[in-house]
Homo-oligomer: A and B are copies of this chain.
Amino acid sequence: MAKHATPLLDQLESGPWPSFVSDLKQEAASRAKNEKNVEFQVPQDCVEDLLGVLELSYKHGVTHWKHGGIVGVFGYGGGVIGRYCDQPETFPGVAHFHTMRINQPGAKYYTTEFLKKLCDLWEFRGSGVTNMHGSTGDIIFIGTSTPQLEEIFYELTHNFNQDLGGSGSNLRTPSDCIGSSRCEYSCYDTQAICYALTQEYQDELHRPAFPYKFKFKFDGCPNCCVASIARADISFVGTWKDDIKIDQEAVAGYVGGEFAPNGGAHSGRDWGKFDIDKEVCDLCPTKCMKYEGGKLLINNKECTRCMHCINVMPRALHIGDDRGCSMLVGAKAPILDGAQMGSLLVPFIKVEEPYDEIKEVIEAIWDWWMEEGKNRERLGELIKRQGFQKLLEMTNIKPVPQHVQEPRHNPYIFWKEDEVGGWDRDINEFREKHQR
């Protein structure tokens, strides 16, 4: 018998899509049964209470969670989000219900061995409820009490060789797309640099020295499967400088209907015979392609590496060999000043161990932001406030037309004194030539 009736939530058990309610219920039942005799370190019925408080929110149309307050592990500024229920008498199992962020492995590959161990730990010391994964990328353990935080951290570091992820005003857990590990489009090894920088910047990750949060995300190519361009203070997006490699035979295979376009992504509808002109050349944003005499020609100088043609004909077209990434900066959610996507700062940079050139850019940005950023001001907002020029100046990057989609249309140029031969002038001298 469930501890709380959940008539509203129960309606979310039907329908084909996996029901989180059913899953929570199975967990609640499993904890109630406790076949393995786990010595639960948080209330055994916490999942019941979680269902109960959620049901109450469904009834009231509002949340029943309060502000977190500052909880965490000693010496770390992040990794834990404190959370308390505003109905602790009714739902004592979730009265304290903090989350922990566990730094996920690159591209979220797991062995079952590791995962199962995590499950054991979390069942024992927490609610057994998780998010696989949080929006930033972490493994999220939802629901434990304050005393368990250090215990879990101890076990993780000692028995799992595993650290917490980020929260608060620090570097957040970096994350990456699957990249070259399983994707033919990847222009660099996303996992390698993601891991290297995560390790390099452990201090920034765990000990807040920043005005606000800061995020890295690594996309192997402009398809942006980890959405870096929309949600990372620095987005690393793979690209290349030389030519797209063309296998004309495979092109013919597509034209002839031998291969399904776009790897079969459109198989659910009859779109008619593949038309390379209409589906590839005409849709190329720069119109730098031609299919002529049975050959596909690309004017690579004009190509902006949008990936479309390669996506449509993955067997025939391959990314170039002179690979690296573009770095874009400032993406963030709407609060406070409006959402931003990343703005291109470094058009092309090699992604090679030990990533020194890249680190230089990162650190120059941080120096500036830590110096000038206001409390709770994201990098993107600082760039807006002080200007893109200032960013270039502070990172010592030469302005190039690639930095802009278009040049300014207002002529309000803030000239500096040393650019115009000084501002000091004498009114009396002026008046000699110009009477009042």
**Interface positions of A (Cβ within 8 A of B):** 60, 62, 64, 66, 86-88, 334, 338-339, 409-412, 433-436
Please indicate the chain B residues that have their CB under 8 angstroms from the CB of A409 in the complex.
339
Please indicate the chain B residues that have their CB under 8 angstroms from the CB of A66 in the complex: 434-436
Closest 4 pairs between A and B when the two form their complex, measured CB to CB: A86-B434, A86-B435, A338-B410, A334-B410
Q: Is B338's CB under 8 angstroms from A88's CB?
A: no
Q: Which B residue's beta carbon lies closest to that of A337? A: B410
Counting chain B CB atoms within 10 Å of each CB, the highest count among A88, A409, A435, A436 belongs to A435
CB of B64 within 8 A of CB of A334, answer no
Q: Kindly identify which residue among B339, B412, B435 contacts A334, using a CB–CB cutoff of 8 Å.
A: B412
B334-A434 in contact (CB<8A): no
Which chain B residues border A412 with CB–CB below 8 Å?
A: 334, 338
Minimal Cβ-Cβ distance residue in B for A63: B434
A412 to B334, alpha carbons, bound, how many Å?
A: 9
User: Could you tell me the distance in whole angstroms from the C-beta of A82 to the nearest C-beta in chain B?
Assistant: 15
Q: Can you list 9 A-B contacts (CB < 8 A)?
A: A60-B433, A62-B433, A64-B434, A66-B434, A66-B435, A88-B435, A334-B412, A338-B410, A339-B409
A335: min CB distance to chain B, Å: 10
Question: Nearest B residue to A84 by beta-carbon distance?
Answer: B435
* Bound: A268/B87 CA distance, A: 82
Chain B neighbourhood of A434, CB < 8 A: 62, 64, 66, 86
B435 and A87 contacting across the interface, CB-CB below 8 Å: yes
Residues of B within 8 A of A87 (CB): 435
Q: Chain B residues near A411 (CB, 8 Å)?
A: 334
- For residue A67, which residue of chain B has the nearest CB? B436
Smallest distance from the beta carbon of A339 to chain B beta carbons, Å? 7
Give the residues in chain B near A86, CB-CB below 8 Å. 433-436
A339 touches B410 (CB 8 A): yes
**A383: shortest Cβ distance to chain B, in Å?**
18
Residue in B closest to A338 when the chains form the complex, CB atoms: B410
| Residues of chain B with a CB closer than 8 A to A435's CB | 66, 86-88
Q: How far is the CA of A73 from the CA of B391 in the complex (A)?
A: 54
- With a cutoff of 8 Å between Cβ atoms, the chain B residues found around residue A433 in the complex are 60, 62, 64, 86
The distance from the CB of A96 to the nearest CB of chain B, in whole angstroms, is 14
Complex CA distance for A64 and B87, rounded to whole angstroms: 78
- How long is the Cα–Cα vector from A347 to B369 in the complex, in angstroms? 46
The smallest C-beta distance from A35 to any residue of chain B, in angstroms, reads 36
C-alpha gap A411/B410 in the complex (Å): 27
Q: Say how far A434's CB is from chain B's closest CB, in angstroms.
A: 4
Q: Give Cα distance in the complex from A60 to B64, angstroms.
A: 74
Nearest B residue to A434, CB-CB: B86
* Identity of the chain B residue whose Cβ is nearest the Cβ of A282 in the assembled complex: B282
A334-B408 Cα distance, complex, nearest whole Å: 13
Query: Nearest chain B CB to A336's CB is how many angstroms away?
Result: 10
Nearest CB in chain B: distance from A65 CB, A: 9
